[in-house]
Structure 1
Amino acid sequence: MQTHETVVFQIFRFHPEQDAKPYFQEYEIPFLRKDLTVLEGLYYIQQRLDDSLAFRSSCRAAICGSCAMHINGKYRLACNTPVLKLKSGKITIRPLAHMPLVKDLVVDMKSFWEKYEQMKPYLMPGKPFPASGERLQRPEERAKVDALIDCILCACCHSSCPVTALHEKYLGPMAFLTADRFVSDTRDGAHEERLAMVDDEHGVWRCHTVFNCQEVCPKDLDPSGSIAHLKMEILKHKIQQKCF
């Protein structure tokens, strides 16, 4: 995209209590800086052009995940998406998918958080706290979770997954990544319980391996890899049960 004096934002709008149906509204704003982000553009619109525009944001540093939305064909974080890098003269923005719409770019994430809670996202050691005061890990053990702990719960993976669109009870890639984070942690003692959580008709076996979740993750995490790992761990556990 070439640098222009202005940039056009085409934003999904819908207020369930006032609007008969959703629509897109265009706003033209000044291209203030070469590093202008989509989130800064949204704030410019909200503060100077239309204070009725609704969207979520918090940290502005790609840490909280709250400003995730569909921007020019891909789920992204608005705070770290520079307008200049979007190869289009118009920025088209939609809300996250597969969750009820509250208003404009704000969705109701209740079911998303319920799935996260269902994964019991905390250590369950199953053993008394050691006298040393620490649950020790060797560097190679810690390395197993290095690529799993950086999820910011933005729901980009959830919204891009075609299976979450069709099956309301499907746990989804975020939940599987969360489960794998603890299954892979040597300090956790609930291995069997965690595998059982994802081993049913709404679990890992319903994944179609489309890799959308991997493609859109703003932290370059690999939910698809976690799903494959969980499947392997489930099968290994079942084989061990039969053999012993």
Structure 2
Amino acid sequence: MDSKKQNFPVLEDHPVGQEHAKEAVEAHGTIQSNIKKLMKEFKIYRWSPDHPNNKPYLESYFIDLSNCGPMVLDVSQKIKAEDDPSLSYRRSCREGICGSCAMNIDGTKTAACLKPIDPDTSRPTIITPLPHMLIEPWLKTRKAPEDGREYRQSPADRKKLDGLYECILCACCTTSCPSYWWNPEEFLGPAALLHAYRWISDSRDEFTDERLQALTEDQKRLYRCRTIKNCTATCPKSLKSCICHSQDEV
């Protein structure tokens, strides 16, 4: 068998097709090599929690727009995947629905998945977080691990979080809860209580007392649950938030 047939075995009995396929592959390579790179600078706000005393700064990344999607979110994903895995940002739907990827892009607060890349390569695009929005971590600790490593957790403690961490904050449970309909100004509702229990149950969290105090300083926040279980019936992730409420009561 000659080299052409080896390269295109599906066309083994069609020599003309073999030749055309080989020419197409060679032409594609030539075209790709002749595409002019369109490099653009993106300056992105960076800060490292590992060095909290260092001031934030803008780091430059140069991206080939001829090999990138059309939106600013595409740039962020390309940088994280190919250049700098430490880059952190939020995104979810990538279709302008969820709002997760809201950023400050060249002074405009908008969703990165809906913001087209400015094709002007003579000036950089500047990307910073939304202003005046403080970041408060869900997991609260009083001090970093002494060995400098991440917070570790045993398999048994990790298993306790199953059925809790999967919540997608859709609010189907809370809006299906008659107890919340009747007392929205007092009862926190199943979604809030599920999340409270999720962090109270986390062995790495060190603010359990503060979380319990916030729940119990007004008993109506917690004890308005009547275990009707509409929350469990409607949850798209099949989570049982009523069980979490009863565990909180214990």
Compute the TM-score of the two structures, normalised by the length of structure 1: 0.45
If asked which structure has higher relative contact order (CA below 8 Å, sep 6+), I would say 1
- Bigger Rg over Cα: 2
Compute the TM-score of the two structures, normalised by the length of structure 2: 0.44
